[in-house]
Amino acid sequence: MALMSDPAPWTAAVDLLRREFGTQPDFVAGAPGRVNLIGEHTDYNDGLVLPAAIDRHVFIAARRNGSPRVRLAAAAFEGRVEFPCDDPGRPVLPAWARYPQGVAVKLLARGISVHGLDAAIAGDLPIGAGLSSSAALEVASALVLEAAGDHALPARDRALVCHAAEAEFVGVPSGIMDQFASALCRRGHALFLDCRSLETHHIPLGASLAIAVCDTGTARSLAGSAYAQRRRECTDAVLALQKTGMKIASLRDVTADDLPRVERLPEPLYRRVRHVVTENARVVETATLLESGQPAGLAEVLAASHRSLRDDYEVSSRELDAMVDAALASPGCIAARMTGAGFGGAVVALVQRAAADAFLAATAEGFQKRTGRAGRLFMTEAAEGAQLLEQRDWGMGTGN
Ligand code: GLA
């Protein structure tokens, strides 16, 4: 995490804890957002993904309060909320608080007791830009709730608890990528994750490659119908293919050789399947190019991913297409594509580090010209996954 920034990015959470609850933290947790380099809409099809954590975080400063209640305040939202430790599941809280609440419910379900806590949430991760602020909030919540009970789950189990909270308690039907990225990524690396076996592999990005996040400033809720509809189409395609005698459990089992047979599916199912099958192959290709130090080859692979998401999966938007065009026309751009669920949100670009400033300026201008909108662009580093901060870091400059 960026120890040198001034003020440190977690200061807002520590200050909020002092203002709202009049106390200093026992611990501070930080969980990063993510960009997905490639492997889009593959996680819920048991497929492959390649996200990287970004250097923007949700921070939670928390202190044991000796009471049977968890009390929460968040910098981005009005009001304070609380829930009882022994029955955290009553769904009466405002939307933002359901993420920590859901994590408490799922920790309890694993036999991990929930202790009374005062907690303040703040951070520098944009909300609603498709950078997984909800997964980061869940993972940071898990860290402080575990710490309050002197517990520390393995990162993989923490990711699964957080995913269960989002899917089963909050009710957003997302896949597992975001929670795994926030919990498991390593600094300077992308995370190759097989969403079926849950095997992971950290792939170094190399010093010359930088990541740009180019947010279009247009957002559409993930809980919205389009994401759920894509998931249903994938399930329908599996059922239809099983009826033809194909021995598959999910779209992960469909190969490129099967595609001529799949072509008989009604529209749009064939195109949805083709996206998933070709996207899984592109994840492997991207990992190979990165590992063998051939970034030039990424241009075509990421371009093919964007085309497939636009034409076959139909989750891009006018603004996302414009941002990709603007990025590709800018100095230092190696590759670019939409990232995350789509329907708005952000584009990820891989950029030559030395050209980062020129890239950001030209892409912002190009996007403005194409759409009349101001995008929000920033460079980021592939960051370390979620962690409890050392007291010597958060104690600095906060009156401790
Ligand atoms: C969202 C979901 C992820 C994944 C992506 C699309 O970010 O939370 O699980 O499905 O969309 O790749």
Name the DSSP class of 66.
S
Q: Taking a C-beta distance cutoff of 8 angstroms, is the pair 115, 68 a contact?
A: no
**Quick one: pLDDT at residue 222?**
52
Q: 355 and 237: one domain?
A: yes
| Residue ranges lining ligand 1, Cβ < 6 Å | 36, 40-41, 43-44, 174-175, 177-178, 222, 340-341
Q: Is residue 223 part of a domain?
A: yes
Q: What are the pLDDT digits (tens) for 312-354?
A: 999 999 999 999 999 999 999 999 999 999 999 999 999 999 9
Q: From residue 282, give the alpha-carbon distance in Å to each of 63, 240, 274, 327, 338.
A: 45, 25, 12, 20, 14
Residue with CA at minimum distance from ligand 1 atom 8: 174
Domain CATH number, residue 359: 3.30.70.890
**Quick one: pLDDT at residue 79?**
87
Q: 161 and 93: one domain?
A: yes
**Quick one: pLDDT at residue 162?**
98
Total domains present in the chain: 2
Residue with CA at minimum distance from ligand 1 atom 1: 341
Tokens of 324: 């990709």
**DSSP letter string over 207-221?**
TTEEEEEEE-S----
Q: Taking a C-beta distance cutoff of 8 angstroms, is the pair 155, 385 a contact?
A: yes
Q: What are the pLDDT digits (tens) for 212-254?
A: 999 999 976 554 689 999 999 999 999 999 999 999 999 999 9
- Tell which atom from ligand 1 comes closest to the C-alpha of 40: 12
CA distance 8 to 15: 11
Q: 194 and 96: one domain?
A: yes
Q: 333 and 359: one domain?
A: yes
Give the active site residues.
178
Q: Taking a C-beta distance cutoff of 8 angstroms, is the pair 295, 206 a contact?
A: yes
Name the DSSP class of 10.
T
Q: Is residue 3 part of a domain?
A: no
Q: Identity (one letter) of the amino acid at 278?
A: T
Whole-model pTM: value is 0.95
**Quick one: pLDDT at residue 2?**
46
CA distance 173 to 223: 7
**Quick one: pLDDT at residue 251?**
98
CA distance 134 to 161: 13
- Tell which atom from ligand 1 comes closest to the C-alpha of 42: 12
Q: 260 and 350: one domain?
A: yes
Name the DSSP class of 380.
E
Q: 130 and 232: one domain?
A: no
Q: Is residue 2 part of a domain?
A: no
Q: Is residue 63 part of a domain?
A: yes
Residue with CA at minimum distance from ligand 1 atom 2: 174
Q: 48 and 81: one domain?
A: yes
Q: 236 and 321: one domain?
A: yes
**Quick one: pLDDT at residue 24?**
96
Q: Identity (one letter) of the amino acid at 372?
A: G
Q: Is 274 helix (H, G, I), strand (E, B) or coil?
A: helix
Q: 197 and 213: one domain?
A: no
Q: Is residue 1 part of a domain?
A: no
Q: Identity (one letter) of the amino acid at 7?
A: P
Tokens of 147: 């710490």
Provide the domain limits for residue 318.
209-380
Q: Taking a C-beta distance cutoff of 8 angstroms, is the pair 83, 98 a contact?
A: no
Q: Identity (one letter) of the amino acid at 309?
A: L
**Quick one: pLDDT at residue 396?**
57
Beta bridge partners of 190: 203
Q: Is residue 362 part of a domain?
A: yes
- Tell which atom from ligand 1 comes closest to the C-alpha of 175: 9
Q: Is 59 helix (H, G, I), strand (E, B) or coil?
A: strand
Q: 17 and 40: one domain?
A: yes
Q: Is 12 helix (H, G, I), strand (E, B) or coil?
A: helix
Q: Is residue 5 part of a domain?
A: no
Residue 71: name the closest of 86, 85, 81 by CA: 81
Q: Is residue 6 part of a domain?
A: no
Query: Ligand 1 centroid to 41 CA: how many Å?
Result: 6
**Quick one: pLDDT at residue 93?**
80
Q: 387 and 329: one domain?
A: no
Taking the alpha carbons at both ends of the chain, their separation in whole angstroms is: 20
- All residue ranges of the chain with pLDDT < 70 are 1-6, 91-92, 220-224, 396-400
Q: 373 and 387: one domain?
A: no
Domain CATH number, residue 144: 3.30.230.10
